[in-house]
Amino acid sequence: MEEKYVVYENWRVSPKKAMVHKFSCGQAHKDQSVSEKINDNWLINFHEQNGRWFGYFNSLNEAIAFSTLLPNRELQICGHCLREFKNSL
């Protein structure tokens, strides 16, 4: 099975950010499993207290491209699940 990606937009931290994760990332499942938030195989604009989740994206490039479209958000790559990619930048 191909890896899926999700984006977490956080508006409570400074700077406000859009964090890209692998769907399987433990950070994406820290408080409540992301898989419990799925509606018809999509995790679209699911609001939480501090932000919201977007996904699923079929590739890392797709998730990054979407993140850049969120206004006034600093793009960040998860240091847990995407450490190798982040270190290669």
Model pLDDT for residues 30-39, shown as the tens digit of each residue: 655 555 555 5
79: alpha, beta or left? (left if phi > 0; alpha if psi -120 to 50): alpha
**Rounded CA separation 54/42 (Å):** 8
The total number of structural domains in the chain stands at 1
Q: How much is the pLDDT for 40?
A: 47
The string of pLDDT tens digits covering residues 40-85 is 455 555 566 788 888 889 999 999 999 999 999 999 999 999 999 8
Q: Which amino acid is at 34?
A: V
Query: Quick one: tokens of 73?
Result: 């958000």
* Host domain of residue 28: 5-88
Query: Quick one: tokens of 59?
Result: 């590739």
Tell me the pTM: 0.80
At residue 21's C-alpha, the angle toward residues 19 and 54, to 5°, is 70
